[in-house]
Amino acid sequence: MAGSKKGYVYLIGAGPGDPGLITVKGRECLGKAEVVLYDYLANGELLRLAPKDAELIYAGKVGGEHNRAQSQINDLLVEKALQGKVVARLKGGDSFIFGRGGEECEALVAAGIGYEVVPGITAGVGATCYAGIPLTHRAVTTSVAFVTGHESPGKASSEVDWEGLSLGSGTVVFYMGIRNLPSICQNLMANGRAPETPVALIRWGTRPEQEVLTGTLADIAQKAQAKGFKAPAITVVGEVVNLREQLRWFDNRPLFGRSVMVTRGADQAGEFSGKLERLGARVYTCPTIEIDEPLSYAELDEALAGLNSFEWIVFTSYNAVKYFFGRLHQLGLDTRALGRSRVCAVGPKTAAALEPYGIKPDLVPADYKAEGVVAEFAKLDIAGQWVLFPKGDRAREVIPEELTRMGAQVMAPVAYLNRTPDRIPEESLAALEEGQVACVTFTSSSTVQNLASILGENRFLHLMQGVKVASIGPVTSKTCRELGLEVHMEPAEYTLDALAAELVKFSW
């Protein structure tokens, strides 16, 4: 019954945009939430940290206007807590720095509801850091002030101490001041701040779409108008702005400003996406492969039962290793069951996947594809030898056919299934439709074929117009061309690291 048990509210500062900037405690509290009330400045990625069955309520802005009045947000927090719910109030930046968190706490206190405030990194700290602007510097200034650039419209007069802010050399950071930028600059100059004082505007600070515009008090308003610079942004005034060109580190990375769609399987996209993000790219994850267990383990179990009779075991993917050893474990066996078998791994990533099992491959071909495996075995005498090739259901038949032709006895049981998802993530589809994707990476023929299948070939070709294609190797590139795509990037070495390096080298 409502009111029989009071809930609890966490006011969580989400940070200025980069989801990695939320605190450890913030993550923990978000993970307990039954209701999440979030703002538009809080990165949507953070909502994934909440339990899957949590109620998500948007309290941000729509079309530049507030979706809910602050009084409505206060009432909603009280209402949900009085229902006995654990509520997470997820706010961009820090709740107590121009976040109106104090007002929300007052409403909770009045209702007798327990709460906890989890600090967040405010935009004045996070965005300036990512822009390469230290707010204080021993040789420049030892003070900083945070000021609202958008005072309450109900005030009879400004409460900003323009004279105090204008005199001296302290750094001043204005929040929410883009609309009032001309009057901010005029007030500072009228009260003694030099017209040549450096100014920086930082929009969407800490995000891949971060923009920085620099100027002086005398010209920054005109520059912003000419460029169409809009909110959300902060304004930084002070000599520390001059340090940006020397200290910038975030927006001068090689792929900054480039948007890349990664079509790798959902369980494997993270490492590659993370590498591209560290290089500065805006990454859209678009899994086009779902990996699943085989419909039947009968073939694989038969091979595992006679594992000590195989001279060679050939692994051509991370998933082959994962599902092979996963099934071995389910059967109560471990690596010792491989006995005298020698192991071939198609490339360094597959070899790395074997390391946790204490296996160092006996053979890693120089050419990281099926043909490379065949070429290496052609140098050996494998006639009459037994070879085990655990594979995916859509694997090419090059290895079993060619090794059989060499006289080997090959068993090729299906160890896992490659499924095509019904759809791609809405965010990724929208980015393609709106022309926001600069490049799509394909790491196997299946990723290309599946994306075309999900979208439909005509729509696939339409959405890929003007988009650069990065393919991991010649087999994948051949599939791209067969489906009507031009391949712009293909590394000499068929690895994800080499593919990332190719994106960096490309002349965008």
Please indicate, yes or no, whether residues 298 and 348 belong to a single structural domain of this protein: yes
Residue 460 lies in a domain: yes
The angle subtended at Cα 47 by Cα 44 and Cα 52, nearest 5°, is 140
Please indicate, yes or no, whether residues 374 and 478 belong to a single structural domain of this protein: no
Please indicate, yes or no, whether residues 454 and 312 belong to a single structural domain of this protein: no
Q: What percent of the chain has pLDDT over 90?
A: 86
Has residue 434 got a pLDDT over 60?
Answer: yes
Q: Are 263 and 429 in contact (CB under 8 A)?
A: no
Q: Are 150 and 61 in contact (CB under 8 A)?
A: no
Please indicate, yes or no, whether residues 434 and 335 belong to a single structural domain of this protein: no
Q: What is the pLDDT of residues 122-134, one digit of tens each?
A: 999 999 999 999 9
Residue 2 lies in a domain: no
What pLDDT, on the 0 to 100 scale, is given for residue 6? 84
Please indicate, yes or no, whether residues 359 and 397 belong to a single structural domain of this protein: yes
Residue 3 lies in a domain: no
Has residue 151 got a pLDDT over 70?
Answer: no
Please indicate, yes or no, whether residues 304 and 325 belong to a single structural domain of this protein: yes
Q: Are 35 and 55 in contact (CB under 8 A)?
A: yes
Instruction: Quickly tell me which residue has 């204080």 as its tokens.
Output: 136
Please indicate, yes or no, whether residues 305 and 331 belong to a single structural domain of this protein: yes
Q: What is the pLDDT of residues 382-423, one digit of tens each?
A: 999 999 999 999 899 999 999 999 999 999 999 999 899 999
What pLDDT, on the 0 to 100 scale, is given for residue 63? 46
What is the rounded average pLDDT of the residues 462-484? 97
Please indicate, yes or no, whether residues 456 and 496 belong to a single structural domain of this protein: yes
The dihedral built from the CA positions of residue 104, 106, 111 and 112, taken in this order, carries a sign that is positive
Please indicate, yes or no, whether residues 164 and 227 belong to a single structural domain of this protein: yes
Please report, for the domain that includes residue 313, its CATH number: 3.40.50.10090
Last residue of a domain, one of 94, 121, 148: 121
What pLDDT, on the 0 to 100 scale, is given for residue 150? 77
What pLDDT, on the 0 to 100 scale, is given for residue 135? 97
Question: Which residues partner with 388 through β-bridges?
Answer: 313, 411
Instruction: Quickly tell me which residue has 């009084």 as its tokens.
Output: 71
Last residue of a domain, one of 374, 403, 418: 418
Residue 33 lies in a domain: yes
Query: What band does 4 get if pLDDT is binned at 50, 70 and 90?
Result: low
Please report, for the domain that includes residue 198, its CATH number: 3.30.950.10
Residue 29 lies in a domain: yes
What is the rounded distance in angstroms from the CA atom of residue 224 to the CA atom of residue 226? 5
Residue 253 lies in a domain: no
Taking alpha carbons only, the member of 369, 371, 372, 350 closest to residue 361 is: 350
What pLDDT, on the 0 to 100 scale, is given for residue 1? 39
Q: Where are the beta strands (DSSP E) in 290-423?
A: 290-292, 312-315, 342-345, 386-388, 391-392, 409-411, 414-419
Please indicate, yes or no, whether residues 263 and 349 belong to a single structural domain of this protein: no
Q: What is the pLDDT of residues 12-59, one digit of tens each?
A: 999 999 999 999 999 999 999 999 999 887 788 899 999 999 999 998
Domain that holds residue 14: 8-121
Q: What is the chain's mean pLDDT, rounded?
A: 93
Q: Are 372 and 366 in contact (CB under 8 A)?
A: yes
- 270 versus 226: which is more confidently predicted? 226
What is the rounded distance in angstroms from the CA atom of residue 343 to the CA atom of residue 327? 17
Q: Looking at the chain, how many residues does it have?
A: 508
Q: What percent of the chain has pLDDT over 70?
A: 96
Question: Which residues partner with 13 through β-bridges?
Answer: 91
Q: What is the pLDDT of residues 179-226, one digit of tens each?
A: 999 999 999 999 999 999 999 999 999 999 999 999 999 999 999 999
Residue 184 lies in a domain: yes
Has residue 153 got a pLDDT over 60?
Answer: no
What pLDDT, on the 0 to 100 scale, is given for residue 264? 80
What pLDDT, on the 0 to 100 scale, is given for residue 3? 46
Has residue 306 got a pLDDT over 70?
Answer: yes
3-state secondary structure 387-435: EECCEECCCCCHHHHHHHHCCCEEECCEEEEEECCCCCCHHHHHHHHCC
Active site (catalytic) residues? 39, 61, 176
| Domains in the chain, number | 4
Residue 254 lies in a domain: no
What pLDDT, on the 0 to 100 scale, is given for residue 157? 62
Has residue 2 got a pLDDT over 70?
Answer: no
Please indicate, yes or no, whether residues 131 and 243 belong to a single structural domain of this protein: yes
Q: Copy the structure tokens of residue 83.
A: 């229902």
Has residue 426 got a pLDDT over 70?
Answer: yes
Which phi and psi angles does 237 have, rounded to 5°? Answer: -120, 125
Please indicate, yes or no, whether residues 115 and 130 belong to a single structural domain of this protein: no
Element (H, E) at 329: helix 318-330
Query: What band does 156 get if pLDDT is binned at 50, 70 and 90?
Result: low
What is the rounded average pLDDT of the residues 165-176? 91
